[in-house]
Amino acid sequence: MGSVTGNFQSETPLHPAASAFLTEAFDRGWASPDKRHAESQKVAILLNEAKESLAGHLGLRREQLEILSDPAIGYHLGISGLLREGSRLLYPAISRSEVFAIAEGVPAEKLETDSRGVAQSPVGEFEDVLAWQSANAETGTIAPTPDTFAGRIFVDATASGALLPLPNRWSTALWSSRAWQGPAGVSIFAIGDRAIWRNALPHFDQRISSSDFSVPLTIASAIALDAFTADYKERRSEIRALNHEIRDFLHNEIGDVDIAGGIDTTLPHLLSFSFLYIDAEILMNELDRRGFAVDSGSACNSANMEPSHVLAAMGLLTHGNIRIALHNEVNRNEVIEFLKTLQVLIAEMRA
Amino acid sequence: MELDCRGMRCPLPIIKLATALKESEEVILLSDDPATLPDLSAWARMTGNFYEVVGTNKYFVKRL
């Protein structure tokens, strides 16, 4: 296990509980669960246990749940699978780029978003599909539940993981195992009981999103989710207090800073903030040299030199942006050291 | 006063704008960086100043 000291970026090492089991998972879970050999039957049992455990944490029944490898496929299955002749796709301006890509090819309407990351509340028609994001991955802002919407709802839970419940009415939903320190390349896709869903990929049988996935990594994901949930329950109030402390420090000790969302309307472990007159790329490099890994939504950090569409849609300052994740392992000393480093760097860069 | 920041990348246009506003109460900013519009809007909100789009890549800014 590598040290996570100074790691405030969104990615984390695999949860120690999952990585401890990884070799065994590969030893025991190599066979295909669909075959009739004794080894395959054992794997089928292991997979069912993993699915049962994942489903329990995510508020699903095991039969509703499918394992996918790439989350990008989940966006397509979840959204395109609900669209019909005459459907419109409604999506908040802070949606993931995968949603924007799907919206390019279908009748669609982008929902403007306010500074709290809240999209105008759509009513829609029965045939319409709403791509609803329970929380935003960049800013951590939590969306109000789409209770007034008349159509079908796709839930993007890739950022919130198991931390937020599903809305009362949903048709399809997508999680990424990364949200709970699980392995990359494992996503969970769910189809609601009464959902009018069809498989939008070329296929033979109607209901099953048949795709190849790794059973050992699925087991690792289930173990990670179990352990992450326990850790989070224990650390939640502490992480929220750290979030509070960071916000206070940024406002009072550094200043000229734009913080995304309030503490009560964002996930407590995610924070995005922008410093006026600061070049994010230089700031990130300086932080990296001092052992702190962070992410940024500023233009200088993106491939196309465009600023983050999320920051722009929320009317937040797009330059000088960094975003941090407070992982379960983080301790207060690391955070204080990070803030003091930030304070010195910002003062130097603004001078 | 006219401030030509065309060809510059964020955050340079906003930094130069803030410097220019120390000398002049009103500035016409020319900037073709895609981040300038969202940034001007956030900057005006944070600093309590005024801006207005007056043309393509052209902004009127007033210190308040």
Answer left, alpha or beta for residue A307, where phi above 0 means left and psi between -120 and 50 means alpha: beta
Q: What string of DSSP letters covers A82-124?
A: T--TT--EEEETT--HHHHHHHHTS-EEEEPB-TTSPBP----
Give dist(CA A171, CA A169) in Å, integer.
7
Q: Do B41 and A278 touch (CB under 8 A)?
A: no
Q: Do B14 and A305 touch (CB under 8 A)?
A: no
Q: Considering only the beta carbons, identify the residue of A277, A305, A311 that sits closest to B11.
A: A277
Give dist(CA B61, CA A246) in Å, integer.
32
Within a domain: A127:
yes
Q: Do B38 and A279 touch (CB under 8 A)?
A: no
Would you tell me the crossing angle of helices A16-28 and A38-58 to the nearest 10 degrees? 150
Shared domain for A200 and A270, answered yes or no, is no
Q: Do A258 and B34 touch (CB under 8 A)?
A: no
Shared domain for A292 and A316, answered yes or no, is yes
The CATH number that applies at residue A319 is: 3.90.1150.10
**Domain carrying residue A168:** 16-228
Residues A266-287 as b/e (b if ≥16 CB within 10 A, e otherwise) read bbbbbbbbbbbbbbbbebbebb
Q: Is B7 exposed, middle or buried (0-12, 13-18, 19+ CB in 10 A)?
A: exposed
Find the mean pLDDT for residues A48-76. 94
Within a domain: A332:
yes
Q: Which residues from B are below 8 Å from A256, CB to CB?
A: 46
- B47: nearest CA in chain A? A256
Shared domain for A111 and A192, answered yes or no, is yes
**Model confidence pLDDT, tens digit, residues A289-322:** 999 999 999 876 666 677 899 999 999 999 999 9
Q: Do B46 and A279 touch (CB under 8 A)?
A: no
Within a domain: A97:
yes
- What is the number of structural domains in chain B? 1
The alpha-carbon radius of gyration of chain A (Å, integer) is: 21
CA distances to A54, A57, A133, A140, B3 from A137, rounded to whole Å, are: 21, 20, 9, 6, 37
Shared domain for A221 and A268, answered yes or no, is no
Question: A112-116 — which CB contacts under 8 Å span 24+ positions?
Answer: A112/A313, A113/A313, A113/A314, A114/A314, A114/A315, A115/A314, A115/A315, A115/A316, A116/A141, A116/A261, A116/A262, A116/A265, A116/A314
Shared domain for A145 and A291, answered yes or no, is no
The CATH number that applies at residue B30 is: 3.30.110.40
- B33: nearest CA in chain A? A306
Domain's final residue, options A228, A244, A264: A228
Shared domain for A221 and A267, answered yes or no, is no
Within a domain: A2:
no
The CATH number that applies at residue A98 is: 3.40.640.10
Which residues of B, range 18-57, sit inside 8 Å of A by Cβ? 18, 33-35, 38-39, 41-43, 45-47
Q: Do B14 and A276 touch (CB under 8 A)?
A: yes
Q: Between β-strands B26-30 and A172-176, what pairing exists: parallel, antiparallel or unpaired?
A: unpaired
**Domain carrying residue B21:** 2-62
The 10 Å Cβ neighbour count of residue B53 is: 12
The identity of residue A331, as a single letter, is N
Within a domain: A256:
yes
CA atoms within 13 A on the CB side of A266: 29
Shared domain for A263 and A214, answered yes or no, is no
Find the mean pLDDT for residues A258-264. 95
Domain's final residue, options A189, A208, A228: A228
Shared domain for A246 and A220, answered yes or no, is no
Q: Do A277 and B14 touch (CB under 8 A)?
A: yes
Interface test with B, best of A258, A273, A317 (most B CBs within 10 A): A317
- A320: nearest CA in chain B? B11
Give dist(CA A274, CA A322) in Å, integer.
6
Within a domain: A250:
yes
Shared domain for A28 and A136, answered yes or no, is yes
Shared domain for A165 and A56, answered yes or no, is yes
- Using 50, 70 and 90 to split pLDDT, how confident is the model at A70? confident
- B14: nearest CA in chain A? A277
Shortest distance, CA B12 to any CA of chain A (angstroms): 8
Please indicate if any CB of chain A lies within 8 Å of the CB of B7: no
Shared domain for A53 and A148, answered yes or no, is yes
Q: Which residues from B are below 8 Å from A315, CB to CB?
A: 38, 41-42, 45
Find the mean pLDDT for residues A89-95. 96
Within a domain: A223:
yes
**pTM: predicted TM-score of the whole model, two decimal places:** 0.92
**Model confidence pLDDT, tens digit, residues A2-44:** 344 679 998 888 999 999 999 998 998 888 888 888 989 999 9
Alpha helices, DSSP H, located in B1-64: 12-23, 36-47
**Model confidence pLDDT, tens digit, residues A185-208:** 999 999 999 888 988 887 766 555
The 10 Å Cβ neighbour count of residue A126 is: 10
Give dist(CA A134, CA A161) in Å, integer.
9
Q: Which residues from A are below 8 Å from B5, CB to CB?
A: none
pLDDT of residue A2: 38
Structure tokens at A286: 């300086």
Kindly provide the ipTM of the predicted complex, given to two decimals. 0.94
Please name the residues in contact with A146: beta carbons below 8 A apart, sequence gap of 6 or more.
A121, A122, A130, A132, A153, A167
pLDDT of residue A1: 35
Choose among A63, A12, A99: nearest CA to A293. Answer: A12
Choose among A324, A321, A325, A302: nearest CA to A97. Answer: A302
- Name residue B28's beta-bridge partners: B2, B60
Within a domain: A336:
yes
- What is the number of structural domains in chain A? 2
Shared domain for A243 and A192, answered yes or no, is no
